[in-house]
Structure 1
Amino acid sequence: MLRRLDDNWRNGTNCFDLPGEKLLGLFSCHQLIGVGGLNQDPFMTNCRAGRVRHLYLGQCYRGMGLGTLLLQQIIQDAVIHFALINTHAPHAAYSFYERLGFQCLADQDISTHRLQLIAATK
């Protein structure tokens, strides 16, 4: 996942530079320990949908609430631009997303979870 993030950034495929998009980094002692991105959802072009992309936290930093902190910031930023956000999570991360209010989308292949945002203002 991180290699794909780097490749897509370098070749211009995904630079998180469209309206509402961003790429966040989480650092400890000047070392990057986690990343998480927010894109316009390319699979839902007819509505204001965002998509959580490349959410990753280094193995030794998991279980400390840092992934939650990162995803909460993504959600807070998404509210400004999007009415909902989707993600395609690995099965092991389902409970992580569900604890933060995401609903499981059992009938979809492209997205596993969705969070309906309350106060989209744009």
Structure 2
Amino acid sequence: MKQVRFQQIMDLPPQLLTLEKAAAAEGFRFLTRLIADWNTGANRFDAPGELLIAAYLDDCLIGIGGLSVDPYAQNGTGRLRRVYVAASLRGRNIGRALVETLLEHAAKHFRVVRLCTDTSEGDSFYLRCGFQRTDHAHATHTMLLGEAGFGQQAVDHNR
């Protein structure tokens, strides 16, 4: 398979409409909300610590995902939002790489990252990515990033 490229975006790519149509056909409306929120200015992933990343295979948009400040939590908590990979490319670790890219950025700005999913596939996917289930009213999964950040082991300085 060719190399997938992840790129922070500041404007919604025109190809997002094609991806949104595919997501809607699967019953997912969150890319429709992404576009609506972007157009109204309700969420453009431009607050401190936030970002929106597009996944490209060659020049074709194949996925997207965002990190925002969690509006349902105290300071220091980020929220994964609008994570989607084209159905035909799932199972190739693209979604996992997208989430890991978002978490690497999150570790520089947040101590905790939460998300909400309503499918068993999403639940399994996020558990494989290292999230834990939570019973919070506004989140289904959470990850404590800690002082060392995502993907790093904490060093015990008391030894």
Task: Give the Cα–Cα distance (whole angstroms) in 1 for the partners of residues 148 and 93 of structure 2.
Answer: 26
TM-score by length of 2: 0.72
Contact 1:36–1:70 (Cα < 8 Å) also in 2 = yes
Q: Which residue of 2 aligns with 1:31?
A: 60
TM-score by length of 1: 0.92
Q: Is 1:42 aligned to residue 66 of structure 2?
A: no
Q: Is 1:117 aligned to residue 145 of structure 2?
A: yes
1:16-48 CA-to-partner distances (Å, cap 9, x unmatched) read: 01000000000112111100000000000x230
Q: Which residue of 2 aligns with 1:10?
A: 39
Task: Give the Cα–Cα distance (whole angstroms) in 1 for the partners of residues 77 and 146 of structure 2.
Answer: 13
Q: Is 1:77 aligned to residue 105 of structure 2?
A: yes
Displacement of 1:10 in angstroms is: 1.1
Gaps of 5+ in 2: 1-29, 150-159
Q: Is 1:94 aligned to residue 126 of structure 2?
A: no
Q: Which residue of 1 aligns with 2:88?
A: 60
Contact 1:26–1:34 (Cα < 8 Å) also in 2 = yes
Larger radius of gyration: 2
Contact 1:80–1:120 (Cα < 8 Å) also in 2 = no
Task: Give the Cα–Cα distance (whole angstroms) in 1 for the partners of residues 90 and 53 of structure 2.
Answer: 17
Gaps of 5+ in 1: none
Displacement of 1:120 in angstroms is: 6.6
Quick one: higher RCO (CA 8 Å, sep 6+), 1 or 2? 1
Task: Give the Cα–Cα distance (whole angstroms) in 2 for the partners of residues 83 and 32 of structure 1.
Answer: 30
Runs of 4+ in 1 over 6 A off after TM superposition: none
Task: Give the Cα–Cα distance (whole angstroms) in 2 for the partners of residues 80 and 49 of structure 1.
Answer: 12
Contact 1:51–1:87 (Cα < 8 Å) also in 2 = yes
Displacement of 1:119 in angstroms is: 2.7
Q: Which residue of 1 aligns with 2:50?
A: 21
- SS of the aligned residue for 2:36 comes to helix
